[in-house]
Amino acid sequence: MFLYDTHVHTSEISPCGQGSAAQQVRAAKKLGYTGIIITDHLVQHYGNCPDDLPWPERAHFQKTSYMAAKEEGDRIGIDVFFGWEYTHWHNIPGVDILTYGLDVDFLLAHPKLFTYNIQEYSAAVREAGGYLAQAHPYRPDRNRAFDIKGFNPTLFDGAEIFNASEPKENNANALAYANEFNLHKQSGSDSHALGRKLKGGVWLEKRAKSIHDIIAAIKNNAKLDT
Quote the CA–CA distance of 35 and 128 in Å, as a whole number.
Answer: 24
Phi-psi category of residue 67: left, alpha or beta, with phi > 0 → left and psi -120 to 50 → alpha: alpha
Q: Supply the pLDDT for residue 17.
A: 77
Tens of pLDDT, residue by residue over 146-184, are 655 557 889 999 999 999 989 999 999 999 999 999 999
Tens of pLDDT, residue by residue over 53-69, are 999 999 999 999 999 99
The vertex-202 CA angle with 84 and 198, nearest 5°, equals: 95
**pLDDT band, very low/low/confident/very high, at 32 (cuts 50, 70, 90):** very high
Quote the CA–CA distance of 28 and 13 in Å, as a whole number.
Answer: 18
Quote the CA–CA distance of 98 and 87 in Å, as a whole number.
Answer: 9
Tens of pLDDT, residue by residue over 66-105, are 999 999 999 999 999 999 999 876 555 668 999 999 999 9
For 17, residues 6+ apart whose C-beta sits below 8 A from its C-beta are: 9, 10, 11, 40, 192, 193
Q: Supply the pLDDT for residue 98.
A: 97
Quote the CA–CA distance of 187 and 7 in Å, as a whole number.
Answer: 8
Q: Which CATH class is domain 2-225?
A: alpha beta
Coil, strand or helix: which one is 204?
strand
Average pLDDT, integer, range 8-20: 89
